[in-house]
Each structure stands twice: as C-alpha cells, then as structure tokens.
Amino acid sequence: MTSYDALTVWALILAIGIPTFLIRYSFIGLVGRLGDVPDWTERVLAFVPAAVLAALVVPDVVTIQSTLLGTLGQDRVLAGAVAAAVAWRTEDVLATIASGMLALWTVRFVLPMVL
C-alpha cells in the first residue's frame, strides 16, 4: 500500500482546489465587471436548474430491472412520475423536489405498513 505524507496530501489538495476555485469564481467575477447580464444569457441560464435536476434524478429513476413488472413496481418510478407531474403543473424546482421526496418516502415507508 502506498503511503503519502501530510505535506504531499495538502499540496495535492491545493493543486486541485485552487484551479477549481478560480474557474468557478471567474464567471462570478466576469458578471460583476460586466454589469447587467445580457437577455440571451439569462434565457439560457434559466434552464440550468431543470437540467441539473434531470441529470441527477433521471439515471436513478430509469434504471431498468430484468422484467417490465419489476421496472414498473419500483418506488422510484412512481415518485419520479409524481415529481414530473408537479414539475409540469407548477414549474417550481423546490415543489418538484419536495413532492418527489414525499412520494418516494410514502411509497417506501408508509405503504408497506398499511398493506
């Protein structure tokens, strides 16, 4: 097993952390210097929350089981359908997350006690 001393670990953390910080801060610094953000940029950035939420949630929801019945019986599929309906109706990211989590917890924890 390879062992690293504390100085090497901290040097690696700084070597990775500083460029990451600078890349992320550069956008904030640029927008601050430019003043107002152009309208086309605001229109494009309006889609970022939905894209990030979809990228995080969809792979977990659409994991396919070996049978169709197994896929449709997953609690995540039902919770995803509820969240998709709320997202379509309200267009609110927080309401979508809250309703999806509530549906998931209900199907996973409450229904087994009732049935």
Domain ranges of the chain: 1-45, 47-115
Q: What percent of the chain has pLDDT over 90?
A: 35
Q: What pLDDT, on the 0 to 100 scale, is given for residue 30?
A: 75
pTM of the predicted protein model: 0.57
Task: Give the confidence band of 66 by pLDDT, cuts at 50, 70, 90.
Answer: low
**Total count of residues recorded for the chain:** 115
Higher pLDDT, 102 or 32: 102
Measure the CA–CA gap between 35 and 38, rounded to whole angstroms: 9
Residue 4 has pLDDT above 70, yes or no: yes
Q: What pLDDT, on the 0 to 100 scale, is given for residue 71?
A: 57
Give per-residue pLDDT as tens, 35-46. Answer: 777 788 889 988
Mean pLDDT of the chain: 84
- 97-107 in b/e form (b: 16+ CB < 10 A) is eebbeebbeeb
Q: What pLDDT, on the 0 to 100 scale, is given for residue 108?
A: 86
Which amino acid makes up residue 20? T
Q: Which pair of tokens denotes residue 21? A: 């910080």
Task: Give the confidence band of 90 by pLDDT, cuts at 50, 70, 90.
Answer: very high
Q: What pLDDT, on the 0 to 100 scale, is given for residue 1?
A: 65
